[in-house]
Amino acid sequence: MSSDIYLVFTDDDRHWWSGFLHPFIKHCYVLVPDRGRWIVYGKTAQYFDLFTIDDQPFKLDEVIIVKAKRRQSRRGLFMLNTCVGHAKQILGINDPLILTPYQLYTRLKHEESGTRSS
């Protein structure tokens, strides 16, 4: 399995806290390529999603996709049970100040451009 994974950032206005988040980036989930298929890993308020698909599960004009690399990290004692908490754990990001999907998106874009060290 490749060490590259993809974070998908989407809009989500279905919850009371959505008004406090970025206007377009309110939810995220992880896509992992595996032998010609995609493993989808996501956390919503009601569910934990883990399944495989053959094709992309979204319309490209409705999402933002960021390629990221997994890295080893030390597991902490505390993790927020949110889409961001689960994505950070998969990515190996231990930064406790990343709480929202937009903050995670900003961090990954900085890493992608090489302006932040790993």
C-alpha 42/C-alpha 5 separation (Å) is: 13
Q: Residue 93's domain spans which residues? A: 4-113
Does the residue 40 lie in any domain?
A: yes
pLDDT of residue 112: 78
Check whether 14 has a pLDDT greater than 80: no
Domains contained in the chain, number: 1
pLDDT of residue 44: 82
pLDDT of residue 36: 86
Tell me the pLDDT of the chain averaged across its residues: 82
pLDDT of residue 58: 65
C-alpha 98/C-alpha 85 separation (Å) is: 9
The model's confidence at residue 105, banded by pLDDT at 50, 70 and 90, is very high
Better pLDDT: 59 or 10: 10
pLDDT of residue 108: 93
Check whether 97 has a pLDDT greater than 50: yes
Does the residue 118 lie in any domain?
A: no
**Residue spans of alpha helices (H) in the chain:** 83-91, 101-113
Better pLDDT: 3 or 37: 37
Residues 40-83 pLDDT 10s? 998 887 888 898 888 766 666 778 899 998 887 677 677 888 89
Helix (H, G, I), strand (E, B) or coil at 85: helix
Does the residue 26 lie in any domain?
A: yes
3-state secondary structure 39-108: EEEEECCCCEEEEEECCCCCCHHHCEEEEEECCCCCCCCCCCCCHHHHHHHHHCCCCCCCCCHHHHHHHH
